[in-house]
Amino acid sequence: MSDLFVDNIKHQSSQGSGTITLGTSGEKIGLASGAEFSNITGQNYPAFYARKTGNQNLSRAAITKITTFTTDEIDTDSAFDGTTFTVPVAGKYMVGCQLRFYFGDAGNDGEVANIYLYKNGAYHMQSFLQFGSISRSLSTFTGQLNMIIDLAVDDTVEVYGRLADNSASGTLKITETHSFFQAYRIGA
């Protein structure tokens, strides 16, 4: 085995284009212990993570777009506008959200909460949460929806929520506490 000492490896055209190949099919490229990659792009990017910064009231049994994800903790490609993720790079994405539902005073049997993911303005997937007699004392419940989805450039992804409460009164809402929306690319 020989050692090769260099500071830079560039494609022969030196124009910033072309492919430099290391190794051949079936070989592995390893890093020495403690060595790290730098300036590598494309690993789990684009990505965003946003928390809710305000409560949002819901109409009883209505599917409502969740619109108050306004704190971008991470937004690598400026692709999230507070309500909608617009895909900048095609690929498979892990998309997830968590919503904290509030249904006023202690709950009743048969209350149902749903989280919906919409792709390009249309229903794509949902979670279904139903409260039974064991949850009568609850006034809040946190639900999640996570999935891998194939997305093209300019596809949009949004979160909707629904809370159907058997009681005739009380405020129904999504709370800012423990509610978030996120996505990141996992591959081509």
Look at residue 113 and tell me whether its pLDDT is greater than 80. yes
111 belongs to a structural domain:
yes
Beta bridge pairs of residue 90: none
Look at residue 168 and tell me whether its pLDDT is greater than 60. no
> What does the pLDDT look like over 56-99, one tens digit per residue?
998 888 899 999 888 778 999 999 999 999 999 999 999 999 99
177 vs 110, which has greater pLDDT?
A: 177
CATH number at residue 115: 2.60.120.40
Do residues 114 and 162 make contact, with C-beta atoms less than 8 angstroms apart?
yes
Please report, to the nearest 10 degrees, the dihedral formed by the alpha carbons of residues 15, 17, 22, 24 taken in order. Answer: -130
59 belongs to a structural domain:
yes
10 belongs to a structural domain:
no
- Across 104-171, the runs of DSSP E, i.e. the strands, are 112-119, 122-130, 140-151, 156-164
107 belongs to a structural domain:
yes
Domain range for 164 is: 47-187
38 belongs to a structural domain:
no
- Provide the pLDDT confidence category of residue 7 given band limits of 50, 70 and 90: confident
Do residues 71 and 51 make contact, with C-beta atoms less than 8 angstroms apart?
yes
2 belongs to a structural domain:
no
The predicted model scores a pTM of: 0.74
> What does the pLDDT look like over 123-166, one tens digit per residue?
999 898 776 554 555 677 889 999 999 999 999 999 999 887 66
pLDDT at 16: 65
Q: What is the tally of structural domains in the chain?
A: 1
5 belongs to a structural domain:
no
29 belongs to a structural domain:
no
Look at residue 180 and tell me whether its pLDDT is greater than 90. yes
